[in-house]
Amino acid sequence: MSDQEKKLNVSIKGNIRDLLAFKNLVSDRKKRIDNASNKPINFYPIIGLAQKLHPKKQYLLVSDIIDETKSTKTFRLIPDPNSDNRNLAYFRAGQYLSLKVQVNGVSITRPYSISSSPSESLEGFYEITIRKQEHGFLTNFIWSNWKIGTKIESSGPEGNFYYESLRDSEHLVGIAGGSGISPFRSIAKEIVNGNINAKLTLLYGSSNEEDIIFYNEFKNLENKYPDKVKAVFILSCEEITLEGCEKGLITAALIEKYASIDNSSFFICGPQEMYNFVEKEIQKFNLAPKRIRREVFGEVKNIINYPGFPQDLAEKSFKIKVHIGDLIKEIPGLATESILVAMERANLAPPSKCRSGECGFCRSFLFSGKIYLDPNKDLRRSADKQLNYIHPCSSYPISDLEIEVPRRL
């Protein structure tokens, strides 16, 4: 120590008392501990609310099935009375549930937007609205198997497709196709309940009148709350008999006709084909990214059409060595099918929620091998990209692979 430092002599309550205070630190501490309560804790206020809002699992039961159109049903879900699940998690209008379904002994998940309102979850139910896909292996299964009383395991509410007053304009333009109307039904209900302070203009595309979901409901809302909800039904068919419809597709001209381009927030939800079309139309407005929000739509179809996909490998199948928990198993995986799907087929029950690369719940480590993913939708963390962590739901094998996957919750 230098001379200058040696000179410092601090005294708080006097030299002796200070040193004594140091000497007594441990015995004083002991006294405090001895004098404390010896009771276990039985109160978890913060964790309690966190678990209520974000349960890891919800055990639900189908309580009602409503036919909306020839190909669309709404399933009403309530807490399974035979489970510990008493209440449903509250949510933000626009969020989804990841449902776990056992199909022929294989466990898979699917994200479904909640079509009922948050207030209705407090009354004890959620609704999800599903359109049957012509060759959809899951929707076919649901149609023939889900009955009143069917038990379904769900995640908590998930996703970022919701209105946020600090970010979004009070003029909300919803662009939807097919069952993509679900989150807008929830949002519309929340608007008329007074819980969201915005006006919704919904532009909803269908191929014909029979396919329109929630026509009457939106018409009623529009009549009752003309300053809060407006719905325009856009039909690509020739013949139109219903009121409030437009013929054609959701083009830029049509959007301009109903929405104020300069001060609206655009929320888009629908099947992949609709995005492909609407995205091009919306680009014409040259909007700032903050003005457009898109719901993720699950796995992409036709991955071979995406930029940079190695066409020569499109027909190939690869070996994927999967480490999951204490199990190591080699499974086959097609280049055109996500690693998640390959694992589900092999009944490894991997974790998944959004199935779109966004939520990162399936984050896994790639020991070796090459994957393809859509370069425009690589939503991984930067460090993960560098260290070879991948999201199997949006990654496709283009060589033999070895990966370590977390077990499901």
State in angstroms the smallest separation of the CB of 328 from other proteins.
10
Residue 382 interacts with other proteins (CB under 8 A): yes or no: yes
Between CA 178 and CA 274 the distance in angstroms is 9
What part of residues 49-68 is at the interface with other proteins (CB under 8 A)? 49-54
State in angstroms the smallest separation of the CB of 5 from other proteins.
6
- Piece of the chain touching other proteins by CB under 8 A; list 16-24, 201-209, 226-234, 242-250: 16-24
> Cβ(345)–Cβ(306) under 8 Å?
no
- Nearer to other proteins by Cβ, of 263 and 272: the residue is 263
> Cβ(61)–Cβ(151) under 8 Å?
yes
What part of residues 67-96 is at the interface with other proteins (CB under 8 A)? 89-90, 92
Residue matched to tokens 């006709």: 257
Residue 286 interacts with other proteins (CB under 8 A): yes or no: no
Which two structure tokens, joined as six digits, stand for 406?
């977390």
- Piece of the chain touching other proteins by CB under 8 A; list 28-36, 64-72, 96-104, 173-181: 28-36
State in angstroms the smallest separation of the CB of 100 from other proteins.
13
Residue 134 interacts with other proteins (CB under 8 A): yes or no: no
Residue 106 interacts with other proteins (CB under 8 A): yes or no: no
3-state helix, strand, coil in the chain (%, to 5): 30, 30, 40
Residue selected from 10, 135, 241, 312 as contacting other proteins according to rule CB under 8 A: 10
> Cβ(333)–Cβ(397) under 8 Å?
yes
Residue 306 interacts with other proteins (CB under 8 A): yes or no: no
Residue selected from 198, 249, 304, 379 as contacting other proteins according to rule CB under 8 A: 379
State in angstroms the smallest separation of the CB of 57 from other proteins.
11
> Cβ(118)–Cβ(190) under 8 Å?
yes
Sheet holding 171-177, edge to edge: 245-247, 229-235, 199-206, 171-177, 264-269, 292-294
State in angstroms the smallest separation of the CB of 240 from other proteins.
37
Between CA 275 and CA 291 the distance in angstroms is 16
